[in-house]
């Protein structure tokens, strides 16, 4: 599986820091609201390098998980 980012919808507070700091523009703000009322971020595959910038910009401990393609086809 290619490099990708998993976003825990319910933990996102919609601050957009991950979106603005993604070098490959692989994150966008979704149109839906989570149960806290935040418009949570969504991952779109645009050549994600699993650099981790989104993870480090995100203030929430568990909202973002970054997965790197290890060439084995699994996550």
For another protein, the binding residues (CB under 8 A) are 8, 10-11, 13-17, 20-21, 36, 38, 50-53, 55-62, 64-70, 75
Which phi and psi (to 5°) does residue 40 adopt? -80, 155
Sign of the C-alpha dihedral computed for residues 7, 16, 55 and 74 taken in this order = positive
Distances, alpha carbon 65 to alpha carbons 11, 54, in Å: 12, 9
Q: Tell me the closest approach of the beta carbon of residue 41 to another protein, in angstroms.
A: 11
Q: Tell me the closest approach of the beta carbon of residue 58 to another protein, in angstroms.
A: 7
Q: Tell me the closest approach of the beta carbon of residue 22 to another protein, in angstroms.
A: 9
């Amino acid at each position: 599986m290619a490099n990708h980012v998993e976003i825990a919808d319910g933990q996102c507070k919609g601050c957009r820091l991950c979106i603005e700091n993604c070098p490959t523009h692989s994150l966008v703000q979704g149109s839906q609201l989570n149960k806290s009322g935040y418009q949570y971020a969504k991952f779109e595959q645009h050549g994600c390098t699993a650099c981790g910038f989104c993870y480090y910009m995100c203030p929430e401990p568990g909202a973002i998980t970054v997965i790197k393609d290890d060439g084995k086809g699994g996550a």
